[in-house]
Amino acid sequence: MNKRQNLLDEIKKNMPGRRWNHTIGVMHVAEELADIYGADKEAAFIAALFHDCAKHQNHDKLINEAIRYGMKLNDDMIHCPDLIHGPLGAIIANVDYGINDKEILSAIKNHTTGKVGMNLLDQIIFVADFIEPGRELFNIEYYRKLAYSNISMAVLEILNNTIKYLIDSKKYIGSDTLLCRNYFLLICCDKMARGADK
């Protein structure tokens, strides 16, 4: 049995069916996007496979797992434990599965919040997580179409959507998400301005 199948089997047995189906969808989209934008497809596959490996609905369990792995919780994670699973997933991928590639670990770590200076693989996993085929969100086809034509603009629009949703729901917004949104706003506006000058 090859390494890829071993990893699939290992992660699948520790994941509820619905989350596993989501993960399969993210892997499929991530590999497609990697192919389109010239990223490493194997890295996209691995990052997508592990992106939700630490996700638990039970916040106490999530916090206890983070503590068990020696992870330091910042203020955002304390106020919103849902933000723990990305960084914790990167630690689990590294410690338990020997994933050492810094770009893969970064993509796992930041797939929920985004971060300033996201590289291509970060963007691919962030976007794939949002647009995978199992998602049934308002206007989802707009984000899917954008993802396959302009990955950075897709990141910006997804961040805008997420922030609006969190505000409307009166939920906590992590600081990385706000900083990431402004970072991509400037990048996309600069690209559009330069395009208009040509």
Q: What is the CATH number of the domain that holds 121?
A: 1.10.3210.10
SS3 6: helix
Enter the DSSP assignment of 11.
H
Query: How many domains is the chain partitioned into structurally?
Result: 1
The beta-carbon contacts of 72-77 under 8 Å, at least 24 apart in sequence, are: 76/113, 76/172, 76/174, 76/175, 76/176
pLDDT one digit per residue (tens) for the chain, 198 residues: 478 888 898 899 988 888 999 999 999 999 999 999 999 999 999 999 999 999 987 899 999 999 999 999 999 999 999 999 999 999 999 999 999 999 999 999 999 999 999 999 999 999 999 999 999 888 999 999 999 999 999 999 999 999 999 999 999 999 999 999 999 999 988 776 666 544
Q: Which domain holds residue 12?
A: 3-197
Find tokens 């600069």 and name the residue.
190
Token pair, residue 156, equals 């910006």
Q: Return d(Cα 106, Cα 151) in angstroms, integer.
A: 17
